[in-house]
Structure 1
Amino acid sequence: MSEITPLQPYPEPPSKQRNNNAIELISGSIGGASQVLTGQPLDTLKTRAQTAPKGQFKNTLDIFTTTVKNEGFLALYKGMLSPLLGIAAVNSLLFTAYGASRRIVSPYPDLSIGQVAVAGSMAGAVNAVLASPVEMFKIRMQGQYGGAGDKRLSAVVGDMWREYGFRNGIMRGYWVTVIREIPAYAGFYAGYETSKRFFAKKYSPHAVPVWAVLTSGALGGVSYWLACYPLDVIKSRVQLAKQPPSKGGWLSGGYVAREFRTIVQEGGA
């Protein structure tokens, strides 16, 4: 009887690697656009709940009704152009970084859930490079309430560049975005893979139904927000603030820690 050898890593031919990268890029673009089109109204409600002055709204339902009454239903899609223009690049970068991170974490194709989480966190850190400016401009558009001083996206971008430059304007909130994306995508990919593997085992040897794939994505999204939501509140407030955050490391009295303390003082944890 021949000896059973342990699983060995198998190098993919260059042509297959190029195909995998192309698939990841295309999938990221289509998935990102779908994400924006379906989720933008809820994202607008979320951003306004996070950043509106204390007492402006009673609850999320009040944000919805007030927004529609005063600004019209399409106001729920305010700020959509920024992520719609940038989400293809953002999600393409994310999908590609995740695929590369999986190969860095392990040379074997079958990763444990812990390894998936590590690969997701690595991809999230890379993704922040593009996600930070895209979300900052989206948030600044969502923070306009239909007044005479409201600006178009091009004017918002131009003003941030002229007044604050690249670091404090275009890339405002970059480090808090990095800090958010690391646990966020660790949670997303771990939650998604856990659910997907459960359904794959349940329906084996048959293909997983579409509804199960959708459910896995939904549970991945829930895991994403459970892992990072407090950091997302901080990020939204920092990026919408009139002035850029003052300097300082986020671990020792920096702007992330200061904003955290301000939020707790204003409204409690």
Structure 2
Amino acid sequence: MSADFWAGYISGAVGILIGNPLDLIKVRLQARDSISTQTVTSYARQFESKSALVAGTAAPILGYGALNALLFVSYNRSEAAINTALNCQANLWTTWFAGAIGGLATWAVSTPTELIKCRAQLSSPPASSWNIAKQVFKTEGIRGLYVGGVVTALRDSIGYGFYFWSYELSSKWIESSRKNTSDFSQEAAKVLLCGGLAGIVTWVSIFPLDVIKTRVQEQVPGATKTPLLGSSVLAQRRLGAMDIARAAYREEGARVFFRGLTVCSVRAFIVNAVQWAVYEWIMLELGQGRHKRLEPI
């Protein structure tokens, strides 16, 4: 396996462990049955045990580690191929397109991982990721694991385009504004800051799509009532992404598509700062230090 595969896998798994508690709150705020008067604090009080803080982490640790590995490998190879095909040096446009291709390549892993994670985080009483996966596969087959696949693919492609684009842009901005001399502490601070900013930019760019994805994937068709959050909403048929979006806007207005963005932004900064730091460190340790290739726009 290549260095960027292992660096991506390990950094992705570390990010899930760090960010899961805030991700759980974010998903519950996005879900259709969230009561508007409930706040982040009221959701945090639902964590009655340490196990609640890691609800739904099994699938993401395995799945997101693989997803992150696939993402970085696809991104690095795509960027090299694009630059070769266009006979040009790397720039922010090719970086965005390579990131979008990398995000799209993660679809096969991302969709079932996200579906299992969402349902595990919203289940009441709590259910393990493994039990959720077995139940979905038993009742709906492999197709059931790919519910919401189109909106997930769109979210990941756009989001990861901005992910790498914003990381490179902020890296270049910091490098151009500081002195030529640099030491380890400066480099570490740069990676942490740029990684955190990239996380925020990414989620701001695709948050409405993520809200729709969550509401599509939380649906359990054929049940008299969905077990998610103890909802009494009938789930006799599954609604598509456009139906979900129209219904959400009609019932709660445009702000529903940004519910949970503050929590998500805090989580995104912390998680992606650590993820990029771990990725860059592992690449350096494996003798594959990341070389900056971007030229000024």
**TM-score bracket relative to the smaller structure:** 0.7 to 0.9
Out of 180, 185, 195, the residue aligned to residue 217 of structure 1 is 195
Give 3-state SS (helix, strand or coil) of 2:106's partner: helix
What is the CA distance between 1:114 and its match in structure 2?
1.7
Alignment of 1:15-34 (within 5 A): 22-34=2-14
Structure 1 residue aligned with 2:97: 118
RMSD: 2.2
1:226 and 2:204 correspond: yes
1:36 and 2:16 correspond: yes
1:127 and 2:106 correspond: yes
What is the CA distance between 1:255 and its match in structure 2?
1.7
- Measured in 1, the distance between the counterparts of 2:161 and 2:41 equals 31
What is the CA distance between 1:163 and its match in structure 2?
0.6
Out of 151, 155, 158, the residue aligned to residue 134 of structure 2 is 158
Give 3-state SS (helix, strand or coil) of 1:209's partner: helix
What is the CA distance between 1:222 and its match in structure 2?
0.7
What is the CA distance between 1:128 and its match in structure 2?
1.5
1:139–1:236 contact (8 Å) kept in structure 2: yes
What is the CA distance between 1:56 and its match in structure 2?
7.1
1:95 and 2:110 correspond: no
Give 3-state SS (helix, strand or coil) of 1:106's partner: helix
What is the CA distance between 1:76 and its match in structure 2?
2.4
1:238 and 2:219 correspond: no
C-alpha spacing 1:24/1:45, structure 2 compared with 1 (3 Å): same
2:21–2:54 contact (8 Å) kept in structure 1: yes
- Measured in 2, the distance between the counterparts of 1:56 and 1:241 equals 19
- Measured in 2, the distance between the counterparts of 1:177 and 1:255 equals 12
Counterpart AA for 1:184: G
TM-score scaled to structure 2, two decimals?
A: 0.74
Structure 2 residue aligned with 1:81: 58
Q: Structure with the greater relative contact order (CA < 8 A, sep ≥ 6): 1 or 2?
A: 2
Counterpart AA for 1:179: L
- Measured in 1, the distance between the counterparts of 2:149 and 2:8 equals 22
Out of 143, 154, 158, the residue aligned to residue 179 of structure 1 is 154
C-alpha spacing 1:159/1:56, structure 2 compared with 1 (3 Å): farther
Give 3-state SS (helix, strand or coil) of 1:151's partner: coil
What is the CA distance between 1:126 and its match in structure 2?
0.8
What is the CA distance between 1:87 and its match in structure 2?
1.9
1:45–1:76 contact (8 Å) kept in structure 2: no
C-alpha spacing 1:54/1:85, structure 2 compared with 1 (3 Å): closer
C-alpha spacing 1:54/1:30, structure 2 compared with 1 (3 Å): closer
Counterpart AA for 2:172: R
What is the CA distance between 1:45 and its match in structure 2?
0.3
- Measured in 2, the distance between the counterparts of 1:27 and 1:192 equals 17
What is the CA distance between 1:72 and its match in structure 2?
2.3
TM-score scaled to structure 1, two decimals?
A: 0.81
User: Can you list the C-alpha shifts for 1:220-261, whole angstroms capped at 9, x where unaligned?
Assistant: 0011101100000011111111129979xxxxxx82211110
In percent, how many aligned pairs have the same letter?
27
- Measured in 1, the distance between the counterparts of 2:173 and 2:63 equals 33
Segments of structure 1 that go 5 or more residues without pairing to the other structure are 1-20, 248-253
Out of 249, 262, 265, the residue aligned to residue 264 of structure 1 is 249
1:57–1:63 contact (8 Å) kept in structure 2: no
Give 3-state SS (helix, strand or coil) of 1:196's partner: helix
1:196 and 2:198 correspond: no
Structure 2 residue aligned with 1:3: none
2:112–2:145 contact (8 Å) kept in structure 1: yes
Tell which structure's C-alpha radius of gyration is larger.
Answer: 1
Structure 1 runs of 4+ off > 4 angstroms?
244-247
User: Can you list the C-alpha shifts for 1:77-113, whole angstroms capped at 9, x where unaligned?
Assistant: 2001111112221111000110111022212684221
